[in-house]
């Protein structure tokens, strides 16, 4: 059964109602985390930004106040040595009873990486990422001390006595470049994609699977696809809400309160470039995939919306599950209220549809055929 991901927000600031320089609001953070837990989300991503809060501390707080939800820690390899990260992640995993995933970000922007002293080229960053994953895995699995000597890391006789609860921690990789496909396909447990049309998503999944096969894997990475649903009682009301959301994003960016400055250079990362190229083809793709939110934010991060009633949004999500998406990330623009709406009207509907299909077609073996 596919699983659902949200994103953790440490305060009430949103893209449509930003609160400049907002500090952590512990009560809000706890309420948000428990809301996700209560409404059946499986994971929450704790994002990383060079100027924002520490994901490990946020993650520990979430684990301490929830019972089921797993925490995905976003981590850039330039910020923490892999030997330290291995112990920190395993410590957090023990505290959460095996509820930790790590999402590794090679770094898509030279300027953003430089803010924290990282001046490697993009190709070098992916080379470092590959080493980083291999070191993490060995640190979690090796009972004996080991050495490492590569272009990016060098140490001798590292010994790790901090073991993950379930012997290892799932590693997620994302991106849309050739190197991202190669490394994520060959080494990732999960591969993250932004919300593109069905045709392009299918092509990307096939690339990832091909890299897994080329690497000699007998399994495949689970596929994670991200959307920003704008949902209302009917399709017409949802489209009215979508245009109000777009107006707010546009005004906030013009006032310097958006995710990117009013005048920003074209994005350097391939994923954002792909989103902008698709946006130039038309506002709506497939059933309900809406792209003006992409252009309004210069494709900064996950920015493709799904617009419609709960029925339309659910059917759109099912379209991606049919392609092989195992993990569906949904977060809106009114963070807490949207998470509640998704938990009430989207997650149960999608799960009920899949359960009904599975029962009708006699088990998960048939469902996998349906997905592909």
Per-residue confidence in pLDDT tens, the chain, 372 aa? 889 999 999 999 999 999 999 999 999 999 999 999 999 999 999 999 998 999 999 999 999 999 999 999 999 999 999 999 999 999 999 999 999 999 999 998 898 899 999 899 999 999 999 999 999 999 999 989 999 999 999 999 999 999 999 999 999 999 999 999 999 999 999 999 999 999 999 999 999 999 999 999 999 999 999 999 999 999 999 999 999 999 999 999 998 888 788 888 888 889 899 999 999 999 999 999 999 999 999 888 899 999 999 999 999 999 999 999 999 999 999 999 999 999 999 999 999 999 987 777 655 544 443 343
Give me 96's structure tokens: 């959460």
Q: How is the chain split into domains, by residue range?
A: 3-238+302-371
**3-238+302-371 CATH fold:** TIM Barrel (3.20.20)
- C-alpha torsion angle, residues 45, 22, 305, 74 (rounded to 10): -20
Q: What share of the chain is helix, strand, coil (3-state, %, to 5)?
A: 45, 15, 35
> What are the residues facing 100 on neighbouring strands?
71
Q: Measured at the alpha carbon of residue 71, what is the angle toward residues 68 and 72, in degrees to the nearest 5? A: 145
Which pair of tokens denotes residue 341? 């709406």
The CB-side HSE value for 233 (13 A sphere, CA atoms) comes to 0
Encode burial over 33-70: b for 16+ CB neighbours within 10 A, e otherwise: bebbbebebbbbbbbbebeebebbebbbbbbeebeebb
């Amino acid at each position: 059964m596919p699983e659902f991901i949200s994103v953790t927000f440490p305060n009430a600031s949103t893209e449509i109602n930003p609160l400049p320089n907002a500090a952590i609001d512990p009560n809000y953070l706890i309420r948000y985390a428990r809301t996700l837990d209560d409404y059946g989300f499986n994971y929450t991503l704790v994002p990383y930004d060079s100027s924002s809060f520490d994901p490990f501390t946020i993650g520990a707080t979430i684990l301490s106040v929830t019972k089921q939800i797993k925490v995905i820690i976003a981590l850039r390899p330039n910020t923490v040595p892999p030997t330290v990260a291995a112990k920190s992640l395993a410590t957090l995993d023990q505290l959460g009873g095996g509820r930790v995933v790590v999402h590794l970000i090679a770094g898509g922007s030279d300027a953003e990486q430089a803010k924290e002293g990282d001046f490697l080229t993009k190709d070098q960053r992916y080379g470092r990422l590959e080493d980083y994953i291999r070191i993490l895995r060995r640190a979690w699995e090796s009972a004996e001390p080991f050495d490492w000597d590569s272009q990016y890391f060098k140490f001798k006789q590292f010994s790790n006595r901090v073991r993950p609860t379930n012997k290892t921690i799932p590693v997620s990789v994302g991106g849309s470049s050739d190197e991202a496909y190669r490394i994520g396909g060959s080494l990732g447990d999960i591969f993250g994609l932004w919300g593109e049309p069905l045709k392009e998503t299918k092509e990307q999944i096939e690339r990832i699977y091909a890299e897994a096969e080329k690497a000699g894997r007998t399994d495949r990475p689970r596929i994670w696809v991200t959307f920003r649903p704008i949902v209302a009682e009917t399709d017409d009301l949802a489209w009215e809400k979508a245009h109000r959301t777009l107006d707010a994003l546009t005004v906030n960016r013009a006032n310097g309160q958006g995710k990117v400055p009013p005048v920003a250079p074209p994005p350097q990362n391939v994923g954002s470039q792909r989103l902008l190229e698709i946006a130039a083809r038309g506002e709506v793709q497939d059933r309900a995939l809406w792209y003006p939110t992409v252009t309004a934010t210069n494709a900064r991060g996950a920015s493709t919306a799904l617009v419609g009633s709960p029925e339309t949004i659910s059917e759109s999500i099912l379209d991606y599950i049919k392609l092989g998406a195992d993990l569906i990330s949904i977060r809106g623009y009114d963070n807490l209220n949207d998470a509640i709406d998704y938990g009430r009207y989207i997650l149960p509907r999608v799960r009920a549809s899949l359960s009904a299909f599975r029962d009708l077609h006699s088990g998960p073996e048939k469902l996998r055929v349906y997905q592909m």
